């Protein structure tokens, strides 16, 4: 049976959650395969709005099994907080959620390590969310000091592990904090163990071997929907390094992040905004730095471009077809969906980046190394805007001619069909072109 992946083709925040929500009911599993609580998505469910960062979007549907795969890093207090948020909103999560026993655990010392590195007087901050994601992945790759979710369920083993790990972390934090302007936190192994054993009691019903669950599902002919976190331009291997996340946000992360072989993937849906945004540091060729009364701020205000996880204002800019062509090819996208088209209504003209100028020449290829991309200047194509409100459009014919031309031009530049256009956050505010 087919497996589908929904993946963002920009720097994240592409409104992937809405597409996953629309498709979820047609699948038996919705699976997160990378990242952690640094990946926020807002879901409008009837009259209720939920802001989730680690739970898969499919968790709102009791008939769909939501999987947190082994490729994630999990901060138990945040996961429990999201479960409580859903319960308060009238949605109880039970056996429709499974958490991989091989996912790695974030501890407070990971957050402190990240804080000290990001605020170091030596500079070099990447602009992380401060959730301890990177340091946890570093421990995972380094092996000696990592702890996995399944280990939380074995008290004596967990206490022994933390008694080994915590003294090292305290020494590391003291070294990182040398000369720092703020006090450095230290941690006690037994206190941390008691705290995390409390989380384990609540998480225990969900913890299992999720790779086996998915393999059994495939053998039974079940359909899987994979939900990528962050965006393809933040992929640790192919994104704008070093201003990237610490995991594989492309569909290539599915195999390692869930245990499902790549050959099972039959459809890739690439999600883009009708413009571009970015959070944190790193080069952004089409960024609009045009002041408080400019187009960039207008897009931010109307699009409510503030981070779901951090609340930080997102950087905004014109649609970058060079970047999206690159990520569409990397992800193997079959089609794209264009989100937040309604945000652009009322602008007299719109720009699309078709190529870059660098070192006196022009290129249509995307340099993913940050130091190279920083030197690129966008080459724009200008299209007329539209004044009409498109939030009530439901069919392609309802769109103003200029809006339809804009969408068609994105399709031409990226080289993929546009299957869906979103003109608002609600499910009904969706136009199916394919």
Judge whether 10 is annotated as a binding position: no
Please say whether the beta carbons of 285 and 96 come within 8 A.
Answer: no
Of the residues 13, 21, 139, 235, only one is catalytic, namely 13
Annotation marks residue 169 as catalytic: no
Annotation marks residue 408 as catalytic: no
d(CA 313, CA 307): 6
Judge whether 341 is annotated as a binding position: yes
d(CA 128, CA 178): 21
* ω into 357 cis (within 30 of 0): no
Task: Supply 192's token pair.
Answer: 């941390």
CA atoms within a 13 Å half-sphere pointing along the CA-CB vector of 204: 10
Judge whether 311 is annotated as a binding position: yes
Residue with tokens 């690439």: 270
Within 10 angstroms of residue 119's Cβ, the number of other Cβ atoms is: 13
Judge whether 58 is annotated as a binding position: no
Judge whether 430 is annotated as a binding position: no
Contacts of residue 277, defined as CB under 8 A and 6 or more positions apart, other chains included, come to 10, 11, 13, 303, 305, 314, 315, 316, 317
d(CA 210, CA 208): 6
d(CA 98, CA 357): 48
Judge whether 12 is annotated as a binding position: yes
Q: DSSP labels for 66-119?
A: EEE-TTBEE-HHHHHHHHHHHHHTT---STTEEEETTSEEP-HHHHHHHHHHHT
- Cα-based distances in Å from 96 to 3, 103, 211, 217: 19, 18, 15, 14
- Cα-based distances in Å from 115 to 120, 131, 181, 313: 8, 9, 12, 19
Of the residues 28, 41, 102, 273, only one is catalytic, namely 41
Judge whether 309 is annotated as a binding position: yes
Residue with tokens 């959070």: 279
Please say whether the beta carbons of 61 and 23 come within 8 A.
Answer: no
Judge whether 422 is annotated as a binding position: yes
Q: Which of 332, 327, 240 is nearest to 285 (CA)?
A: 240
Q: Which of 308, 318, 389, 354 is nearest to 44 (CA)?
A: 308
Judge whether 42 is annotated as a binding position: yes
Judge whether 15 is annotated as a binding position: yes
Judge whether 259 is annotated as a binding position: no
Judge whether 208 is annotated as a binding position: no
Annotation marks residue 41 as catalytic: yes
Judge whether 312 is annotated as a binding position: yes
Judge whether 27 is annotated as a binding position: no
Judge whether 223 is annotated as a binding position: no
Judge whether 188 is annotated as a binding position: no
Of the residues 102, 140, 238, 351, only one is catalytic, namely 140
Please say whether the beta carbons of 262 and 254 come within 8 A.
Answer: yes
Known binding residues for substrate: 308-314
Known binding residues for IMP: 13-16, 38-41, 129, 143, 230, 245, 312
Known binding residues for GTP: 12-18, 40-42, 314, 340-342, 422-424
Known binding residues: 12-18, 38-42, 129, 143, 230, 245, 308-314, 340-342, 422-424
Residues marked as catalytic: 13, 41, 140
Known binding residues for Mg(2+): 13, 40
């Amino acid at each position: 049976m087919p497996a589908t992946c929904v993946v963002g083709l920009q720097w994240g925040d592409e409104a992937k959650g809405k597409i996953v929500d629309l498709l979820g009911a047609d699948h038996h599993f919705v699976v997160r395969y990378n990242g952690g609580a640094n990946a926020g998505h807002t879901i409008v469910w009837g009259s209720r709005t939920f802001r989730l960062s680690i739970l898969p979007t499919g968790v709102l549907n009791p008939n769909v099994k939501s999987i947190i795969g082994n490729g994630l890093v999990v901060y138990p207090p945040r996961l429990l907080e999201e479960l409580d948020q859903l319960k308060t909103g009238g949605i109880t999560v039970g056996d429709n959620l499974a958490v991989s026993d091989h996912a790695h655990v974030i501890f407070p010392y990971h957050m402190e390590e990240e804080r000290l590195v990001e605020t170091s007087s030596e500079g070099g901050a990447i602009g992380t969310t401060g959730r301890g994601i990177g340091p946890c992945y570093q421990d995972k790759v380094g092996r000696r000091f990592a702890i996995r979710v399944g280990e939380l369920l074995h008290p004596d083993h967990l206490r022994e592990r933390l008694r080994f790990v915590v003294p090292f972390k305290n020494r590391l934090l003291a070294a990182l904090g040398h000369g720092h302007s703020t006090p450095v936190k230290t941690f006690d192994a037994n206190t941390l163990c008691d705290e995390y054993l409390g989380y384990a009691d609540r998480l225990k019903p969900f913890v299992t071997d999720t790779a086996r669950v998915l393999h059994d599902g495939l053998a039974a002919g079940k359909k899987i929907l994979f939900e990528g976190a962050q965006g393809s331009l933040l992929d640790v291997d192919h994104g704008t390094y070093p201003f990237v996340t610490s995991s594989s946000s492309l569909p290539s992360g599915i195999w390692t992040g869930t245990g499902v072989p790549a050959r099972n993937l039959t459809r890739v849906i690439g999600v883009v905004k009708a413009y571009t945004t970015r959070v944190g540091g790193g080069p952004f060729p089409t960024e609009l730095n045009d002041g408080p009364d400019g187009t960039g701020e207008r897009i931010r205000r109307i699009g409510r471009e503030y981070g779901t996880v951090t609340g930080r204002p997102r950087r905004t800019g014109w649609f970058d077809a060079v970047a999206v062509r690159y990520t569409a090819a990397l992800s193997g996208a079959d089609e794209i969906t264009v989100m937040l088209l309604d945000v652009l209504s009322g602008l007299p003209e719109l720009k699309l980046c078709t190529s870059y100028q660098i070192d006196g020449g022009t290129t249509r290829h995307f340099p993913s190394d940050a130091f190279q991309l920083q030197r690129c200047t966008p080459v724009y194509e200008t299209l007329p805007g539209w004044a009409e409100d498109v939030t009530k459009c439901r069919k392609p014919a309802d769109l103003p001619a200029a809006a339809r031309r804009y969408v068609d031009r994105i399709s031409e530049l990226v080289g993929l069909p546009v299957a869906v256009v979103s003109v608002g956050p609600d499910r009904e505010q969706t136009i199916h072109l394919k």
